[in-house]
Amino acid sequence: MDGYLDRYRRIRIERCRDALEMNGFEVHLADDPLHARKIVIEEIVPRTGARTVSWGDSLTLQATGVLDIIRNDPNFDFVETFDSAVPWNEIIERRKRALLADLFFTGTNAVTETGMLVNLDMIGNRVAGITFGPKHVVIVVGRNKIVPGLDEAMMRIKKYAAPINAMRHPGFKTPCVKTARCMDCSNPRRICNTWMIIEKCYPKGRIKVILIDEELGL
């Protein structure tokens, strides 16, 4: 990789880190998914003292391998909220239980260079877990999610992340699956229902953000 590109990306990540820290988030920088996993498992999780753990859908999180470690560790009560073999009503009940977990893992649709987290959900369990309930929240973010400000964050989600997310779920027939852009539809499987914008982390340090210097997730 050319040195000037590395420098450009590092400056943006560090700017984002500084802004998030000013807004009360705990922030870690990781070189790649393996480094992020090391930070989570060896530094963050032991400090939380967590026993019950759950998660909100995130391709970036899955890339780190953190979930596999937590699921297979008998010291944790893992609340699995995504399992195609489990009836939908039971999945909903599990997602409610996840809001009482000690530790909640997920990703974010966008993070601004001014230090805000921006997300858009279909059901709302992911944004609910981020904003309220779990004692600790860990969010893993690829550098491709970093945008200048709120307008760019919302545009990124509506024009890019949401349509692709709909495409990766079999059976979703929303207009964006065909057009590759948000059509502000009224489809019953619409995934763009609940916005979340976090300007400040409360209480301070509850949300831990790991910025990964790779392009990951949607």
Nearest alpha carbon to residue 66 among 30, 119, 92, 14: 30
This prediction's pTM: 0.95
pLDDT tens across 166-205, in order? 999 888 889 999 999 889 899 998 999 999 999 999 999 9
pLDDT tens across 74-123, in order? 999 999 999 989 999 999 999 999 999 999 999 999 999 999 999 999 99
Q: In the sheet that 194-198 helps form, which strands lie side by side, from edge to edge? A: 146-147, 110-112, 117-121, 194-198
